[in-house]
Amino acid sequence: MPIKDDLDFLLRNFYSDYYLNDDEKFLEILEEELKYQLAPIGNKISEFTHIDKKFEVFFSDIKKDERKSFNVFLQLLLPFFIEAANIIDIEENFWHYFIVYEKNENEHYKLVGFCTLNHFHRNIQTYRTMISQFIILNPYQRKGLGLKLLEV
């Protein structure tokens, strides 16, 4: 039985295939990530300026999106912010994402947060939409951006 403070075991167990503890491999991947410029997935549905910064909101049916692997990377953030969070299985349900990005003057995007919605079907013709996850990353919290995303 693992010790509660055995972080290596806990992280390896939760993240399985995505867990990395090889320093050289990590630095290699980090270099690739720093060169990569995030391009938003989905369709832009809204944009707004808030505290002299530009933000854009994109909607994605992640199951149909060509980069649905992005779902995994969004989901891997959850345990750090939401206690008892689980990774959603997009193959089984009707999941949709609203993703908010900060857009800077170089046309680069920074992830600000996201909201996942699930359509729970009552029967073949009707369903109920529920917010499942809602995250605004720490540097963007307490600035009203969560409310803006919720309004969209």
CA distance 77 to 97: 15
CATH code of the domain occupying 38-151 = 3.40.630.30
pLDDT band at 56 (very low <50, low <70, confident <90, very high): very high
Distance of CA 121 to the CA centre of its chain: 24
Q: What is the pLDDT, as a whole number, of residue 119?
A: 75
Q: Start-end ranges of CATH 3.40.630.30 in the chain?
A: 38-151
Task: Pinpoint the alpha helices (H) of the chain.
Answer: 7-15, 23-35, 70-75, 145-151
Number of Cα atoms under 13 Å in the Cβ half of residue 89: 3
pLDDT at 11 over 60: yes
Q: How confident is the model at residue 57 (pLDDT cuts 50, 70, 90)?
A: very high
Question: What percent of the chain lies above the pLDDT cut of 70?
Answer: 72
Q: How far apart are the first and last CA of the chain?
A: 45
Q: Is the pLDDT of residue 99 over 60?
A: yes
Residue indicated by tokens 């992005």: 70
How confident is the model at residue 36, as a pLDDT? 58
Q: Which residues of 6-37 are buried (b: 16+ CB within 10 A; e: fewer)?
A: eeeeeeeeeeeeeeeeeeeeeeeeeeeeeeee
